[in-house]
Structure 1
Amino acid sequence: MKLITFEKNNVQYLGLVKSNKREVVDLNKLGVIEKTMLEFIKSTTGEKLKELSQKAEGVVGEDIERVTLCAPIPVPEQDIICLGINYMDHAEESAKFHNEKFEGERPYAVYFSKRVNEAVPHGGLIESHKEIVDSLDYEVELAVVIGRDAKNVAKEDAYQYVFGYTILNDVSARNLQTRHKQFYFGKSLDGFTPMGPWIVTLDEFNHPLSLKVQARVNGELRQNSSTDKLIFDIPHVIHELSQGMTLKAGTIISMGTPSGVGMGFEPPKFLKSGDVVECEVEGIGVLKNIVL
């Protein structure tokens, strides 16, 4: 099931994309009283999702081309939890860019957070912040949406706490990242979190995941990998983090990016105004944005 947040007449609504992939059904028409995706996630069970999906097929929806998509969770309640250097090939290209020795192993996950005042929707603009950024970069990532509060979760139970998945472009200012020797500022500027185009619920996937992950810039394939190459997978991450913190329902965890980012080329291929960035994850779709 694909769930969206969409806008009409400056009002946001929750929607379900029907199986024909052409129609959107307003969840209010199916008896849903929650007004935001976060409220919906917190109050919804797997059985309720199945019931809504069946009901939606009997309802005439709106043409998906005639609604304005928002990011599925436009304003996350907390910073997004991100995985750094979670594909070995990206670890190698990152070390090369920063003139660091590549050790060839990652015994522990690298976690950082990304501030999001408002996520950028599919079709939205990526702000370039030219006054402070000279090395704007893209990172296609699978993002996990937690469905219920998770504390002390065993690895084998991890997927029971997943609501679904979306696509995230972890836009990064490499000069700020390098200057400050940490991720937070260089990845948290306004307009640096394109997300969407929707959340696809857990039941649509086989686990463990093995999904193609790709990024294109102006039609050129730059990143091309698969989630089965993650160093630390979803069960590991949920288990590890939940030992010391409660992962609240609605938490977004972005699982890291493979090689092929702009800084990995010689010379680097950083983004410029007018560039079209397409991030694709198999089973979810394509998140397309333009650099302002």
Structure 2
Amino acid sequence: MKLATLRNGTRDGALVVVGKNNSVYASASDIAPTMQAALDRWDEVEPKLRALAEQLEGGQVEGTPVDPTQMMAPLPRAYEWIDGSAYINHIVLVRKARGAEPPATLETDPLVYQGGSGVLLGATDPIEVPNIEWGADFEAEVGVILGDTPRGVKAADASKYIKLIVILNDVTFRNLIPAELAKSFGFFQSKPATAFAPFAVTPDELGEAWKEGRIHLPLNTYYNGEKFGDPEAGPEMHFSFNDLLQHLTKTRAYTAGTIVGSGTVSNDDRSRGSSCLAEQRMLEKIDSGEFKTPFMKPGDTVKIEMLDKAGVNIFGTIDQKVVDAD
């Protein structure tokens, strides 16, 4: 089942069910007015949403053509947005880029931070860059949206709390990071608003590609119209989403509508490219002794999408342009 949030002039938009081929949607307002309202009563409303999805697919409900520009983030604002860094190759490369060593617990203790969740961008919303000296970078990731999740979840039981899956662009101002982390209090100014592909899908929509808390499909990124990377999201995700949930719930519970990100998808195999500029820059530094690729500037474009083995665009496409911030 695919769900999305339609722009309707309100903060939270309107919940819709989307057809499998992404071409049409049907209003779900009679079942739940918003995505958050659906998540709050998931056990009650999920069967009704699935029934509507089947009716839409079978032609018993008239569909409205999908216009990606009219879709907000699946959750336009979330109770929490927590991003991990589950791909070790990415951690090693970006830390080298800023002259920092990986933590001693790199392979045993997940890295996570809590980002801004009050403003989450839609797939076609622009990336605003107030100052190109801040080093704006894209980061292609996968993520999950939780239902109510108690404290003390074990990895073996975590999958039942994952209600929806998403992909996202976690924009970063790279050049603001070192000074922030030097204060030993984490990211803040270096993390502007995150953008999401238009469709959130239930895990079963991925079929066999969803295994043990990982998506076993490539995540494709295009930068300025050219293929930038297509790393596999599954095999090198050192900490699965199940592992991340066990880590996150050690001391507290989470409410329905919490989003958890994987961190930048990254593979050791260079032929798969990268999911962010920082990795490519570090590889250039290793090979030639200097960074060559600049960070983003106004006019640049980023597209991120994930296709299943049949070529179906599962989540729709993140399609953003970098603009000057007023």
Q: Give me the TM-score of the superposition, normalised by structure 1.
A: 0.89
CA distance in 1, matches of 2:186, 2:227: 25
CA distance in 1, matches of 2:134, 2:264: 21
CA distance in 2, matches of 1:142, 1:93: 19
CA distance in 1, matches of 2:219, 2:187: 24
| AA of the residue aligned to 1:62 | T
Alpha-carbon distance, 1:67 to partner: 6.8
Which residue among 224, 234, 237 is the counterpart of 2:241?
234
Residue 188 of structure 2 is matched in structure 1 by 185
| AA of the residue aligned to 1:165 | I
| AA of the residue aligned to 1:273 | P
Q: Percent identity?
A: 24
Alpha-carbon distance, 1:77 to partner: 2.0
CA distance in 1, matches of 2:157, 2:82: 20
CA distance in 2, matches of 1:146, 1:171: 22
Residue 275 of structure 1 is matched in structure 2 by 300
Alpha-carbon distance, 1:288 to partner: 1.2
CA distance in 1, matches of 2:157, 2:39: 19
Residue 117 of structure 1 is matched in structure 2 by 118
| AA of the residue aligned to 2:140 | V
CA distance in 2, matches of 1:146, 1:102: 29
Alpha-carbon distance, 1:122 to partner: 1.1
Kept in 1: contact 2:110–2:247 (CA 8 A): no
Q: Secondary structure at the match of 1:15?
A: strand
Matched, 1:134 2:149: no
Residue 62 of structure 2 is matched in structure 1 by 60
Count the aligned residue pairs.
283
Alpha-carbon distance, 1:99 to partner: 1.6
Alpha-carbon distance, 1:269 to partner: 3.1
Residue 269 of structure 2 is matched in structure 1 by none
Q: Secondary structure at the match of 1:263?
A: helix
More strand by share: 1
User: Does the C-alpha gap of structure 1 residues 66 and 221 become closer, same or farther in structure 2, counting only changes over 3 Å?
Assistant: closer
Alpha-carbon distance, 1:143 to partner: 1.1
Alpha-carbon distance, 1:140 to partner: 0.4
CA distance in 2, matches of 1:60, 1:144: 29
Kept in 1: contact 2:28–2:49 (CA 8 A): no
CA distance in 1, matches of 2:150, 2:221: 31
Kept in 2: contact 1:6–1:67 (CA 8 A): no
Kept in 2: contact 1:75–1:116 (CA 8 A): yes
Kept in 2: contact 1:172–1:186 (CA 8 A): no
Q: Deviations over 1:83-114 (max 9, x none)?
A: 13x21221221122112345795321111011
Alpha-carbon distance, 1:186 to partner: 3.6
Matched, 1:249 2:256: yes
Alpha-carbon distance, 1:5 to partner: 0.6
Residue 171 of structure 1 is matched in structure 2 by 171
Kept in 2: contact 1:223–1:258 (CA 8 A): no
Alpha-carbon distance, 1:174 to partner: 0.9
Give structure 2 stretches of 5+ with no counterpart.
Answer: 267-273, 282-290, 308-313
Alpha-carbon distance, 1:38 to partner: 0.8
| AA of the residue aligned to 2:77 | V
CA distance in 2, matches of 1:225, 1:183: 27
Q: Secondary structure at the match of 1:50?
A: helix
Give structure 1 stretches of 5+ with no counterpart.
Answer: none
| AA of the residue aligned to 1:248 | T
CA distance in 2, matches of 1:236, 1:281: 23
Alpha-carbon distance, 1:50 to partner: 2.4
